[in-house]
Structure 1
Amino acid sequence: MSRRRHSDENDGSSQPHKRRRTSEPIEIEDRLESLICRVGEKSTSSLESNLEGLAGVLEADLPNYKSKILRILCAVARLLPEKLTVYSTLVGLLNARNYNFGGEFVEAMIRQLKETLKSNLYSEAVYLVRFLSDLVNCHVIAAPSMVAMFENFVSVTQEEDIPQVRSDWYVYAVLSSLPWVGKELYEKKDVEMDRLFNQIEGYLKRRQKIHVPMLQVWTAEKPHPQEEYLDCLWAQVQKLKKDRWQERHILRPYIAFDSVLCEALQHNLPPFTPPAHSDDAVYPMPRVVFRMFDYTDAPEGPVMPGSHSVERFVIEENLHCIIKSHWKERKTCAAQLLSYPGKNKIPLNYHIVEVIFGELFQLPAPPHIDVLYTALLIELCKLQPGSLPQVLAQATEMMYMRLDTMNTTCADRLISWFSHHLSNFQFRWSWDDWADCLTQDAEKPKPKFVKEVLEKCMRLSYHQRIVDLVPPSFSVLIPVEPLCHYKYTDETSSTLPGFAVSNTVANAIKNRASNEEILTVLKDVPNPNQDDDDEGDSFNPLKIDVFLQTLLHLAAKSFSHSFSALAKFHEVLKTLTDSDEGKLHILRVLYDFWKGHPQMISVLTDKFIRTQIVDCAAVANWIFSPEMAHDFTRFYLWEILHSTIRKMNKHVQKIQKELDEAKEKLEKQHNKKQQDSGDEEDMEKNSEDEEGQLEEQIERLQEKVESAQSEQKNLFLVIFQRFIMLLTEHLVRCETSGIDINTPWYKNCIERLQQIFLMHHMIIQQYAGTLENLLFTAELDHHILTVYQQFCALQL
C-alpha cells in the first residue's frame, strides 16, 4: 500500500491527462486506492457521509474492479489497524448492498489470515482476527461462527509438546479482540463465552512466567508494576466484562448505520483450524506492559484511565498502531498521533509519551530503530511546544528518580535518547535539579547516568561546550578532555625501553617507509619474553607497544588520519599480532593511548576487527581482562562488545547465504540437465564441468560455514565463561565477608549478562545444548543459573 502516491492530485499538469488517455483502468485503480486509504482522514464532511459516499462509488465499480477492491480492503485491514472500525463499517455497507461481495471478502480475509500465520507475521494476523471480530458488529459475520473460531484458537492451549509462546499468541488474539466484539458475542452466545473464559483462566493460571524479571523495565513493584502482557490484558477484559462491556474509547461508525446493517444477510466463517506447530515457526516473544503514569501524574484536564481499564489498552493499542503504520515518516507519524480521535476525552500527551518510551524500552529490542523515537519526540515537541515538552520533562525526571531499579539495557537506551534529545535543544537542562547525584558513590545509577549522558553529549558536540553548559559543581562528572597519551613523548620518557626505537619508527613513517622497512627497524627491539625459549619472538609486547603508540600518535589528528595509518601499515600490524597474546596486547596498547577518548577506542577497535588485525574472541577477552576492570561498567565497553557480536553474526550469515545460493544453483543445474537430456554430447560435458566446479565451491563454503560457526560458538563460550568467573568471584567474596551481594557492580554485571542473552537470543538458542553441558550446569550458583533459565523460558 503506497501512503504517498496521492499526496497531490496535480490536476493542473499535463502528465495525469496523458496517463488517462493511455491507461484509464490503471488511473481508476489508483483513484480507488486513494479513496479507500484516505477515508476517515480530515474532511469537511462527516465520517458517516464519507463512508456512505465511498460505499456507493465502490459498489458502482464492483463489476469491473472487484478483485482490485478486494485486494485493497484486505490490505488496509492488515496494514492500517488504527482505522479498523472505519473499514469494517465500509465492508458492512458493501455487504448490505452486495451479499456476494461480502462473502468473497470474508473468504479472502480467511485466506490472508492463513498466509500471515504461515509466514510468521503474527502481529498482522492479530489485526486480521480483530477485523473479522468487528465485522460481527457490522452484521457481516454471524456471532456463533466467530465464537466457534475463538474456541478453536483457545483449544491450542490443550495441545501437547508445543512452546508456551504458541498458545500465548492464540489466547492473546482472542482477548485483544474482545474490547471490540465482547458485548455482541455475550449477548448472542453467553454460555459458550463463559466456557471460553473458564478455559482461558485455567490456562493463565498454569502458564509459567520465569521470563518476566528479564523483561521488566523497573524491578520495583511501586509506583507502577511492570505486568506480564497477558495477565494485564486478562485483568482489563475481566473488568470490562464486570462493567457489562461498556467502554467509551472505540470509534464505532457502524452505529449510525444500524438500521441499514441489521437488514443485511450475514455470513458464517468457514471452519478455521489453527495451523499445526512447526519447528520453523517464530512466535512473538512475551513482553511486559510499560507503565510510567497514572491519573495522579496528570492532575489537570481529562482523567487518565486506570491501568486495568480496557480503555487504557484500546488507547495504547491504537497509538502503537499509528506508530507502526507511519514510523518511516516522522512528521506524518507525529501529526497522526496528535490528531488521535477522542483526544479531548483523555490526557493525550501523557499517553503518547508513555507509549513511545514503552516501545523504546521494549526488551529484547524496540519494534523500530532507536533513533525513530528521538526524532518522533522532537517532532512532537515542535508541533506542541506549549504542552508536550513539559510532559516529556516530567517523564525524564520520573525516570531519573527511578534509575536505582531501572534495567541496565533500558538505562543505556535512556542515555542515548536523552543525550540526542538535548543536542537538538542546545543542551539546555535544569542540571541543578539533579544535584543529589553529586553526593552519591560514583558507581551508583544516578551519577553514572549523568556522567554517561555528558559523555554522549560530548560526542555530539565538543568538550569545552559541555564544560561551559554544565554547572561547575558537576565538574566531577564531566568527562575528561579526549586527549591521547603518547608514552614516548619527550626526554622524561627516555628511560623507557623502546624510546630510541620509537623515534626511529616515527622518522621512518614520516619518510614514507614501506611495511618491510618498518619491520626491519623493529627487528632489533628486545623481547621482554625472550627468556622463554618456547615463546620465541612470535609475541613481542614491546614491538607492538612502540609501533602502535608511535603510529597512533602521528595519526591522532582525526578518525580519517587514524584509518589511513592503519590501512597503510596493515601488514606490519598483522605480522606483530599473529598470536592470541599479540591480538590481546594490541587492544591494551590502543586503550592506554586513547583512554580519555572512548569513541576513538570504539571506532578503532571496530577497524581492527574489520581488517582482521584482531578477532572477535580477542575483543571479548580484552573487555573481561583485569586491566579493564575499572571501566567494566561503562557504556562504551558494552557498545564495543555488542558491535563485535553483531559482526561475528553477520559474517556467519554472509557465508551461509553464499552456501545456500551455491546449493540452489547446483539444484537448478541438475533440473536443467534432466530436462535437456536429449541434447548434444558436448553440452552435457560442459554441464558436468560446471556441476563439478559448483560441488567444489559448495565443499569449500561448507568448510567456511563450519569454521565460522565454530568461531561464533567460541565467542559466546568465552563471553559466558568470563561472566561466570567474575560473578562467582563476587558471590564467594561477599559470602566469605558476610556482606550483601547486591552492590551496584553486581546489578550492572548480572543485567549485562541478561542483555547478552536477550539481544542475541536467536543465535544463542542454536548453542543452548553446548552452554548447558559446559557452563550453565546444575552446580552453578543459582543467582547466575536463574538468568539462563529466564532466557530459556522466553521461547518455551
Structure 2
Amino acid sequence: MAETIFSQLLLLPNPPFKPIYYTLVIIDLCKALPGAFPSVVVGAVHALFDRISNMDMECRTRLILWFSHHLSNFQFIWPWQEWSYVKDLPKWAPQRVFVQEVLEREVRLSYFEKIKQSIEDAAELEELLPPKAGPNFKFHSDESNESTDGLKLSKELIGLIRGKKSTYDIILWVEEQIIPKNGTEFALDVVSQTLLDMGSKSFTHLVTILERYNKIISKLCPNEEMQLLLMNGVSAYWKNSTQMTAIAIDRMMGYRLISNLAIVKWVFSPANVEQFHVSDRPWEILRNAVSKTYNRISDLRKEIQSLKKGLQVAKEASAKNRKELEEAKSVLEIVEGQPAPAERPGRIRRLESHVKNAEDEERTLEESLEAKGVLLARAHEESKDRTCLSYSLRALLTCSLNVCRLSLLMGKFLICAVEIKM
C-alpha cells in the first residue's frame, strides 16, 4: 500500500491526483493503523532518503513538501539524530539540502522555537535551521545613520502615507524631492523598502500596501532593468525569509509591477543561479512565475471565448429587439383620417427600452473583449523574447542539474506560446 502511494506521489511529470490527496491518505492510514502503518512510512522515508541523490529534483521537492506537512500533523516528532551526520556533508549534498529544506518548511508551518525544540536530540542540525524570520530594513533608525538621506526620505514617505495623501501626491513628491537629487534607482530603493516595511506585519498588510500604492512602484519600474533592481531590494529586505521573498515577488507579478521574463532573468542571474544547488528558493520563485503565466494566459483565452459567445448572443438579442420595434412602429391605423401607430404607446416605450438595454450590453461586451485582447497581445509580445528562456536552459545545463523539472516549467511556457498564437 505504501509503495503504491509513494510511487504515485513521485510520478513524473505529474501525479494522478494532487499531492495533498496522498498526504491526507497517509495521515489517515497512520491514525487508523497506529500499530503498523507508521513504521512502514518510516521505512519508506529512510529508503527514499538513502536514494535521494539519484532522485529527480521535482520528486525531491514533492517529498520535502509531503514530509514537512506530514510531520506537522504528528507534533514534528522524528528521529533526527539518525540524520545528524548530514551537517558534515557539502552544502550542495542532496541529503543535507533535503534536511535543510524540510526544516525550513516546518518553520513555515509552525514557528522557529518549536522546530528548534523538535531537533534538540540532534543539536548538530541547528546549523541547518533557516535564520529567524524577520525583515531587514535598510533605513532603520539608529545612531549611525540618523542623518542619512535615505532615512529622512523614508520617514517623510511614511508621514505622507499615514497622512492619507493620494497616490498622485506621493508620486509628485518622489519626482520633486528624490529623483532630481538622488536619481531613480535611489528613489526606487527608498520607496520599495519603506512600503515593504509598512507591509511586513503579515501577508494581509503586504497585499493591502501593494494594492493601494502599486502605481508608485509601477511609475519607478517602467522597464526590465528597474524591475530587476526591485527584486534585488525585495530579496535584501526579506533575506531571512524565503517564504516572504517568494510571496512578495509573486504578488508584485500579480499587480504587473514585475514581468514574468524579468523574474526568469533575475532567478538565473549570476548572483542567484548558484542557489539551485543548495536551496529550493529559486525553484519556488520560478515555479510561481511560470504557473501564474500559464494560468493567466489560459484564463484570458477562456474569458475571450466566453465574451465572444456573449457578444454573439447580445447582437442577436439586439437585432431581434430592433426588428420588433420596427414592426410595432410600422403597423398603422387611420385615426380621424390620419395614419397613426396602431400599437399602444406603452408597448412602444417598452420595446425602445429593450433595444437600448441590448445595445448597452453589446457595447459593454465589445469594450471588455477589446480590453482582454490588449492583455493577450501584451502576453504575445512578452512571448516573443526567447533569449531569456534559452539563457535559463543553458544556465541549468552549465550547473549540471537535473533538467526534468526545468522541462516541466519550460513545457508550460511553450504551451502558453502555442495558445497565444492559436
Q: Please give the range of the TM-score, normalised by the shorter of the 2 chains.
A: 0.7 to 0.9
Q: Distance in 2 between matches of 1:746 and 1:672?
A: 61
In 2, are the aligned partners of 1:662 and 1:697 still within 8 Å (CA)? Answer: no
Q: C-alpha offsets along residues 344-394 of structure 1, whole Å, 9 cap, x if unaligned? A: xxxxxxxx1111111111222111121111111000001110111111100
1:447 to 93, 96, 99: 96
In 2, are the aligned partners of 1:519 and 1:572 still within 8 Å (CA)? Answer: yes
Residue 486 of structure 1 aligns with an amino acid whose one-letter code is F
Match of 1:399 in 2: 48
What is the SS of the residue equivalent to 1:747?
Answer: coil
2:395 to 700, 711, 726: 726
Matched, 1:653 2:312: no
Displacement of 1:702 after TM fit?
A: 7.0
In 2, are the aligned partners of 1:584 and 1:619 still within 8 Å (CA)? Answer: yes
2:310 to 640, 665, 682: 665
In 2, are the aligned partners of 1:481 and 1:596 still within 8 Å (CA)? Answer: yes
- Comparing both chains, which one has the higher relative contact order based on Cα–Cα distances under 8 Å and sequence gaps of 6 or more? 2
Match of 1:215 in 2: none
Alignment of 1:247-326 (within 5 A): none
C-alpha spacing 1:389/1:516, structure 2 compared with 1 (3 Å): same
Q: C-alpha offsets along residues 462-512 of structure 1, whole Å, 9 cap, x if unaligned? A: 111111221211122111111211122223235865233223334444444
In 2, are the aligned partners of 1:648 and 1:712 still within 8 Å (CA)? Answer: no
Q: Distance in 1 between matches of 2:224 and 2:73?
A: 44
2:407 to 734, 751, 754: 754
Q: Distance in 2 between matches of 1:474 and 1:678?
A: 79
Displacement of 1:670 after TM fit?
A: 6.7
Matched, 1:704 2:371: no
Matched, 1:603 2:247: yes
2:154 to 502, 523, 528: 502
Bigger proportion of residues as helix: 2
Q: Distance in 2 between matches of 1:564 and 1:689?
A: 38
C-alpha spacing 1:503/1:666, structure 2 compared with 1 (3 Å): closer
C-alpha spacing 1:696/1:768, structure 2 compared with 1 (3 Å): closer
1:612 to 256, 260, 264: 256
Matched, 1:556 2:205: no
Matched, 1:379 2:28: yes
In 1, are the aligned partners of 2:310 and 2:365 still within 8 Å (CA)? Answer: no
C-alpha spacing 1:448/1:764, structure 2 compared with 1 (3 Å): farther
In 2, are the aligned partners of 1:419 and 1:457 still within 8 Å (CA)? Answer: yes
Q: Distance in 2 between matches of 1:500 and 1:428?
A: 48
Residue 700 of structure 1 aligns with an amino acid whose one-letter code is E
Matched, 1:488 2:157: no
Match of 2:10 in 1: 361
Displacement of 1:712 after TM fit?
A: 5.7
C-alpha spacing 1:560/1:676, structure 2 compared with 1 (3 Å): closer
Residue 503 of structure 1 aligns with an amino acid whose one-letter code is K
C-alpha spacing 1:693/1:472, structure 2 compared with 1 (3 Å): same
Residue 400 of structure 2 aligns with an amino acid whose one-letter code is Y
2:178 to 525, 533, 538: 525
C-alpha spacing 1:564/1:660, structure 2 compared with 1 (3 Å): closer
Structure 2 length normalisation: TM-score? 0.81
Residue 650 of structure 1 aligns with an amino acid whose one-letter code is N
Q: Distance in 2 between matches of 1:624 and 1:616?
A: 13
Residue 150 of structure 2 aligns with an amino acid whose one-letter code is G
1:515 to 152, 155, 167: 167
Displacement of 1:556 after TM fit?
A: 2.3
C-alpha spacing 1:630/1:506, structure 2 compared with 1 (3 Å): farther
What is the SS of the residue equivalent to 2:144?
Answer: helix
Q: Distance in 2 between matches of 1:677 and 1:509?
A: 53
Q: C-alpha offsets along residues 394-440 of structure 1, whole Å, 9 cap, x if unaligned? A: 00000000011100000000000000001111111111111332221
What is the SS of the residue equivalent to 1:492?
Answer: coil
Residue 372 of structure 1 aligns with an amino acid whose one-letter code is Y
Q: C-alpha offsets along residues 14-61 of structure 1, whole Å, 9 cap, x if unaligned? A: xxxxxxxxxxxxxxxxxxxxxxxxxxxxxxxxxxxxxxxxxxxxxxxx
In 1, are the aligned partners of 2:57 and 2:405 still within 8 Å (CA)? Answer: yes
Displacement of 1:609 after TM fit?
A: 1.8
C-alpha spacing 1:441/1:707, structure 2 compared with 1 (3 Å): same
In 1, are the aligned partners of 2:72 and 2:109 still within 8 Å (CA)? Answer: yes
C-alpha spacing 1:504/1:763, structure 2 compared with 1 (3 Å): closer
Match of 1:681 in 2: 326
Displacement of 1:671 after TM fit?
A: 6.4
Q: Distance in 1 between matches of 2:266 and 2:244?
A: 16
Residue 43 of structure 2 aligns with an amino acid whose one-letter code is Q
In 1, are the aligned partners of 2:138 and 2:193 still within 8 Å (CA)? Answer: yes
C-alpha spacing 1:579/1:482, structure 2 compared with 1 (3 Å): same
In 2, are the aligned partners of 1:655 and 1:704 still within 8 Å (CA)? Answer: no
In 1, are the aligned partners of 2:104 and 2:129 still within 8 Å (CA)? Answer: yes
C-alpha spacing 1:761/1:555, structure 2 compared with 1 (3 Å): closer
In 2, are the aligned partners of 1:527 and 1:541 still within 8 Å (CA)? Answer: no
Match of 1:565 in 2: 209
Q: Distance in 1 between matches of 2:111 and 2:365?
A: 56
Match of 2:332 in 1: none
Residue 653 of structure 1 aligns with an amino acid whose one-letter code is S
C-alpha spacing 1:506/1:678, structure 2 compared with 1 (3 Å): closer
Percent identity over the alignment is: 26
1:459 to 95, 105, 108: 108
C-alpha spacing 1:623/1:508, structure 2 compared with 1 (3 Å): same
Displacement of 1:722 after TM fit?
A: 2.4
Q: Distance in 2 between matches of 1:503 and 1:618?
A: 30
In 1, are the aligned partners of 2:263 and 2:289 still within 8 Å (CA)? Answer: yes
Q: Distance in 1 between matches of 2:22 and 2:260?
A: 31
Match of 2:39 in 1: 390
Q: Distance in 2 between matches of 1:546 and 1:719?
A: 29
Match of 2:231 in 1: 587
In 1, are the aligned partners of 2:68 and 2:105 still within 8 Å (CA)? Answer: yes
Matched, 1:476 2:114: no
Q: Note the residue ranges of structure 2 that are not aligned, 5 or more in a row.
A: 329-350
Q: Distance in 2 between matches of 1:605 and 1:367?
A: 30
Q: C-alpha offsets along residues 158-180 of structure 1, whole Å, 9 cap, x if unaligned? A: xxxxxxxxxxxxxxxxxxxxxxx
In 1, are the aligned partners of 2:272 and 2:282 still within 8 Å (CA)? Answer: no
Q: C-alpha offsets along residues 426-459 of structure 1, whole Å, 9 cap, x if unaligned? A: 1111111113322211111110111000000000
Matched, 1:621 2:272: no
C-alpha spacing 1:674/1:420, structure 2 compared with 1 (3 Å): same
C-alpha spacing 1:695/1:554, structure 2 compared with 1 (3 Å): closer
User: More deviation in 593-602 or 358-367?
Assistant: 358-367
Q: Distance in 2 between matches of 1:656 and 1:355?
A: 37
In 2, are the aligned partners of 1:621 and 1:718 still within 8 Å (CA)? Answer: no
C-alpha spacing 1:761/1:450, structure 2 compared with 1 (3 Å): farther
In 2, are the aligned partners of 1:374 and 1:420 still within 8 Å (CA)? Answer: yes
Q: Distance in 2 between matches of 1:682 and 1:584?
A: 63
In 2, are the aligned partners of 1:649 and 1:712 still within 8 Å (CA)? Answer: no
User: More deviation in 591-600 or 680-689?
Assistant: 680-689
Q: Distance in 1 between matches of 2:421 and 2:380?
A: 14
Q: Distance in 1 between matches of 2:211 and 2:268?
A: 28
C-alpha spacing 1:527/1:441, structure 2 compared with 1 (3 Å): farther
